[in-house]
Amino acid sequence: MRLDLRLTHRFLDQLWCQAIVAFLFEDDSLHKGYLSRINETLADSLTPLIDRHFITGRRDELILIAPQERIKAKKLLLLGLGPTGSYSSDILPSAMRKVSSALEKLRLFEFAILVPWAEEIAIDYRESIKTLIEGLVECYAMSAERPVDFLRTVIVSIEEKVFSDLQSLEHTLRTYLDPRIEYSIAIDRNRG
């Protein structure tokens, strides 16, 4: 596997890719934070789905939405993480397996993802990003059915006010990835 990893402070709706992956929490986080920005960009088309409890943020809830050219990606994949009070970065590896499996079935090889965060959560954001990438790499490494020579492009959108030091994050990720796979890491310094 070859991983083309891009780190950016751009928000998901500004990124050109095949799919956007957004993690959701239960509770009122569906109406605020980064989901509200996606919803606004989608002309509030998620609001009726949230109000009717079609989108809840329950753990392992997986919903695929066609954004109808309102964002730059062709697909929007939403994955529930459960209540913010029970969230920890330990949930991310299984969440990434679920996301990777869904993207593989949809034959989507270039996606953008925002590492989940909420003000109520007191976890190390850098560690969450690393855990998310580790989960992705392990998911693809575990499957012997996949050909060795394939490319995944992953754009990691990182909320600047939560974590601004992309350079140190790049170093942390290189330390993890070096012995494992062929990869490249690029930092997008443009804020969009």
pLDDT for residue 150: 65
Please write the tens of the pLDDT for every residue from 37-49.
Answer: 888 888 888 889 9
Instruction: Provide mean pLDDT across the span 23-41.
Output: 78
pLDDT for residue 144: 44
Instruction: Provide mean pLDDT across the span 155-170.
Output: 85
pLDDT for residue 8: 92
The CATH code of the domain at 2-188 is 3.40.220.10
pLDDT for residue 14: 85
Its pTM stands at: 0.86
Please write the tens of the pLDDT for every residue from 56-86.
Answer: 989 999 999 988 888 888 999 999 988 888 8
Instruction: Provide mean pLDDT across the span 142-158.
Output: 70
Instruction: Provide mean pLDDT across the span 148-168.
Output: 81
Please write the tens of the pLDDT for every residue from 105-149.
Answer: 898 889 999 877 766 666 777 788 888 888 888 776 665 455 555
Q: What is the 3-state secondary structure (H, E, C) of the chain?
A: CEEEEEEECCCHHHCCEEEEEEEECCHHHHHCHHHHHHHHHCCCCCHHHHHCCCCCCCCCCEEEECCCCCCCEEEEEEEECCCHHHCCHHHHHHHHHHHHHHHHHCCCCEEEEECCCCCCCCCCHHHHHHHHHHHHHHHHHHCCCCCCCCEEEEEEECCCCCCCCHHHHHHHHHHHHCCCCEEEEEEECCCC
pLDDT for residue 178: 87
Q: How confident is the model at residue 185 (pLDDT cuts 50, 70, 90)?
A: very high
Domain edges within the chain: 2-188
